[in-house]
Amino acid sequence: MKAFIVDRYGKSELLRAVELPEPELLEDEVLVKAHAASVNVLDAKIRNGEFKLVLPYRTPFVLGHDVAGVVVRVGSRVRQFKPGDEVYARPDDFRIGTFAEFVAVRESALAPKPANISMEEAASLPLVGLTAWQALVEKGGLKKSQKVFIQAGSGGVGSFAIQLAKHLGAVVATTASAENAAWVKALGADVVIDYRQEDFEKILRDYDLVLNSQDGETLKKSLRVLKPGGKLISISGPPDREFAQDIKAPWWVQQVMRMLSLSIRRQARQRQIGFSFLFMKASGNQLRQITPLIESGAIRPVIDKVFPFAETNDALAYVERGRAKGKVVIKMV
């Protein structure tokens, strides 16, 4: 099969196109013929080596975190899927590899593809959908009429999270460029702040929840728009000790992460705000809860651009520029 691999870590490194044998299946895995995969900022960060501390992949390895396709074969313990089923998934960490014609996915990470959308649209959803779900529903407990600030509303996570928050009945604020303001309002944003001209800290007050996806300075400013008892959930760091314990990191890594997040946790406590770092987990069960929202039209996939499989490096470079509206997808079939 054709695949794109990381030979060595580095920002200037290109993925290399190679021929590999099809993955061998474990008992709890499903072999999926990939029709489409999406490209995420996470892919670039892993290729660059920014996550080696928490995700020490040994090179060479196949990159890619989202897939939509058709089941080819199933392991002996798989009960929910059969050959011919259309599926989508974000594979588990250390089992990634969707920039390939075939990928083995654990049954627990897989879900039936929403019936009303294309393979490309389905491939755009798992990572951003699960991130938004785990931030707003699982960790955030977002409720009707609460106020949530979702940063970078035109990005992949932001465009999904705005729609999910609106479906939950929340009041939604976001940041976007002036040219994208009307577009993110159409997704469901009630308040749109032009990040080039305005300071969100001077506009937003007494928010219940912030989903932070930006830098450390933005993280600190986000504390000041929350009311006491509010929650600050960051998907861009710094990782905390709870996360390190979740991934069963070595003791010394747990201490490093505790120190990295010490300042922001201390500031949050002083303001009676809960801080947590979110590194989303694969979950077929949560995808099954997201699927009806897609099929009902409550949330729609947002795709900026589709690249052919041979241009995977171009797709990754496009995502790294940080200007995509929604998701970038590569098409295999």
pLDDT tens-digit readout, 177-221: 999 999 999 999 999 999 999 999 999 999 999 999 999 999 999
105 beta partners: 30
pTM of the model: 0.97
Inside any domain, residue 286: no
Q: How far apart are the first and last CA of the chain?
A: 13
Residue 92 binned pLDDT confidence (cut-offs 50, 70, 90): very high
- Digit-coded pLDDT (tens) for 256-274: 889 989 999 999 999 999 9
What pLDDT does residue 237 have?
87
The average pLDDT across 90-116 equals: 97
Assess whether 267 and 152 both reside in one domain: yes
pLDDT value for 204: 98
Does residue 306 fall inside a structural domain?
yes
Q: Report the alpha-carbon distance of residue 101 to residue 113 in Å, rounded.
A: 18
Domain finish residue from 261, 277, 293: 277
What's the pLDDT at 106? 98
Residue 69 maps to which CATH number? 3.90.180.10
Q: CATH number of the domain that 211 lies in?
A: 3.40.50.720
Residues 134 and 219 in one domain: yes
Does residue 246 carry a pLDDT above 90? no
CB 217 within 8 A of CB 201: no
CB 314 within 8 A of CB 305: no
Identify the pLDDT of residue 196. Answer: 93
Does residue 145 share a domain with residue 90? no
The reply to whether 282 falls in a domain is no
291 located within any domain: no
Q: Look at residue 29 and tell me whether its pLDDT is greater than 90.
A: yes
Domain residues for 65? Answer: 2-125+301-331
Q: Tell me, yes or no, whether 268 and 228 share the same domain.
A: yes
Q: Which of 333, 329, 327, 284 is nearest to 37 (CA)?
A: 329
Share of the chain above pLDDT 90, in %: 90
Sign of CA dihedral 56, 130, 204, 188: positive
pLDDT in tens, 46-83: 999 998 888 899 999 999 999 999 999 999 999 999 99
Residues 176 and 104 in one domain: no
Residues 226, 269: one domain? Answer: yes
Residue 309 and residue 218 share a domain = no
Residues 263 and 326 in one domain: no
What pLDDT shows up at residue 276?
94
Residue type present at position 203? I
Four-point Cα dihedral 176, 46, 302, 29, nearest 10: -150
Based on the domain organization, do 179 and 256 belong to the same domain? yes
SS3 226: strand
Residues 133 and 249 in one domain: yes
Contacts of residue 204, Cβ cutoff 8 Å, sequence gap at least 6: 149, 173, 191, 193, 225
Q: What is the pLDDT of residue 245?
A: 84
Based on the fold, state whether residues 196 and 107 are members of the same structural domain. no
Asked whether residue 141 is assigned to any structural domain, the reply reads: yes
Q: What is the pLDDT of residue 157?
A: 97
Residue 270: the pLDDT is 97
Number of structural domains the chain divides into: 2
Q: Is residue 195 part of a domain?
A: yes
Residue 277 has pLDDT above 90, yes or no: yes
**pLDDT tens digits, residue range 198-208?**
999 999 999 99
In a domain, 287, yes or no: no
- Give per-residue pLDDT as tens, 13-23: 999 999 999 99
Task: At 179, list the tokens.
Answer: 């040219």
What interhelical angle do 262-270 and 251-260 show, nearest 10?
50
Do both 94 and 15 map to the same domain? Answer: yes
> Which tokens hold the place of 203?
């506009």
Query: 43 exposed, middle or buried (CB, 10 Å; 0-12, 13-18, 19+)?
Result: buried
pLDDT of 241 > 90? The answer is no
Asked if residue 289 belongs to a domain, the reply is no
Q: For residues 98 and 31, what is the distance between their CA atoms, to the nearest angstrom?
A: 11
